[in-house]
Amino acid sequence: MVDAAYEKLAGALNARSTAFPAVKCDEFYDLVSFLFTPEEAAIAVAMPLGNATVEEIANNLPNKDLKKLAGQLETMADKGLIHIRERDGKKLYEALPFVPGITEFQLMRGIVDERHKKIAMLLRDYAKAMIKSFMSADPPKLESSAPGKKVAVDKEIEHKSTIVPFEELKGLIMKTDYISVGTCICRHQAALLGKPSDKPVNNCMILGESAQFAAERGFTTRMTKEEAIKRIEEAEDAGLIHTFANSPDLFTNLLCNCYKDRCMIVRGISKSPVPSMAVNARWVVNIKEDDCTACEACIPRCQMDALKMVDGKLVREEMRCIGCGICMWVCPTDALVLEPRPAGKIPLRS
């Protein structure tokens, strides 16, 4: 029989984000019961949306022992189940959604052992079961619940993935005080399941306040701005798309560098009939025809199949282009330029 705390956990996870929805099924319970003890699940369920003090969390629990609860919250932070920040000398606790959050923290340390192999397997099995249930004739309705909504949550909390081309990303990194880097969770999961990648793996980045939390808890390692830019250059070289997941309502500013053979999100975007509408795509590449020598070097770089030759000329399909700029990196004549997506054709989620 499933513990009642795990039953309620699905609603609490969905209240925070439905980027990787919590759907009740055997595989969901296998995963959450491996990550959370029943007591930890009950604490996560009791945590209000947004930041909460230990007293506020205790208000929603039968056991009001603050010292014990504070210790349990520390353990949960070390396990990557919650986030902790300090404000005016007081600790504030925030429960995490599956993505971005719990999933990343389970694998960002890059550890190879039996426990992490098991986590990789449980995540894979749950992702398959969740997708299958959504494809079924009777897809699940997502439960969403969290007590004492203490932040303004009348608006929908939406997980946004934004494509950030190299030059823009460099600017963002230069403006960021704290940057930390961990192992790419997609490629690490694949490696744990026996499918290693030939692309660089140490480029899953967190920027800002959450980067400090992640580094101090050993999920990631702090880097200088110069080291971070070098890591991004390596990713660009390897043809990895830079995707930024951020939301003012969630804990993190997470920068993924990945590709469709290993990343469920990039693969999902590439399979969309209109990739530029499946993600926050604010740029589009244009071809300077006079400079293009039709060498075709850019075509295999594009993971969205937005580039092709027609009658000896390079052609770009505007609505397939997500403006990642990965094609530009290899052009010998600088014939590709990124431009803001024209007004009137702005993707729905921008």
Q: How far is the CB of 337 from ligand SF4 (least distance, A)?
A: 10
Binding stretches for ligand SF4 (CB under 6 A): 285, 287, 292-298, 301-302, 304, 306-307, 314, 316, 321-327, 330-331, 333, 335-336
Q: Shortest approach of ligand SF4 to residue 247 CB, angstroms?
A: 24
Q: Which helix (H) or strand (E) holds 133?
A: helix 114-135
CB nearer to ligand SF4: give 111 or 297. 297
What string of DSSP letters covers 3-28?
-HHHHHHHHHHHHH--SS----SHHH
Q: How far is the CB of 300 from ligand SF4 (least distance, A)?
A: 10
Q: How far is the CB of 226 from ligand SF4 (least distance, A)?
A: 26
Q: Find the DSSP H helices in 193-305.
A: 209-216, 225-237, 264-271
Residue 297 vs 346, nearer CB to ligand SF4: 297
- The CB-of-150 to ligand SF4 minimum distance in angstroms stands at 40
Cβ proximity to ligand SF4: between 73 and 335 the closer is: 335
Distances (CA, A) of 146 to 3, 9, 82, 94, 149: 18, 9, 15, 12, 7
Of the candidates 108, 281, 117, the one whose C-alpha atom is nearest the C-alpha of residue 202 is 108
Of 38 and 268, CB closest to ligand SF4 = 268
Q: Smallest distance from the beta carbon of 198 to ligand SF4, in angstroms?
A: 19
Our CB check for ligand SF4 shows the closer of 26 and 291 to be 291
Measured from the CB atom, the residue of 189 and 203 that comes closer to ligand SF4 is: 203
Listed residue (261, 236, 316, 248) closest to 283, CA to CA: 316
CB of 159 to ligand SF4, least distance (A): 21
For the record, the structure tokens of 183 come out as 């192992």
Task: Quote the least distance from Cβ 294 to ligand SF4, whole Å.
Answer: 5
Of the pair 123, 302, the CB lying nearest ligand SF4 is at 302
The H-or-E segment that residue 38 falls in is helix 38-46
For tokens 């070390």, name the residue. 78
Q: How far apart are the first and last CA of the chain?
A: 44
Residues 6+ apart with CB under 8 A from 37: none
Nearer to ligand SF4, 179 or 302 (CB): 302
At 207, give phi and psi (nearest 5°). -115, 140
DSSP codes joined into one string, 137-197: SSPPPPP---SS--S--SSPP--EEEE--HHHHHHHHHT-S-EEEE--HHHHHHHHTT---
What are the φ/ψ torsions at residue 183 (nearest 5 degrees)?
-85, 140
Q: Which of 252, 206, 238, 240 is nearest to 100 (CA)?
A: 252
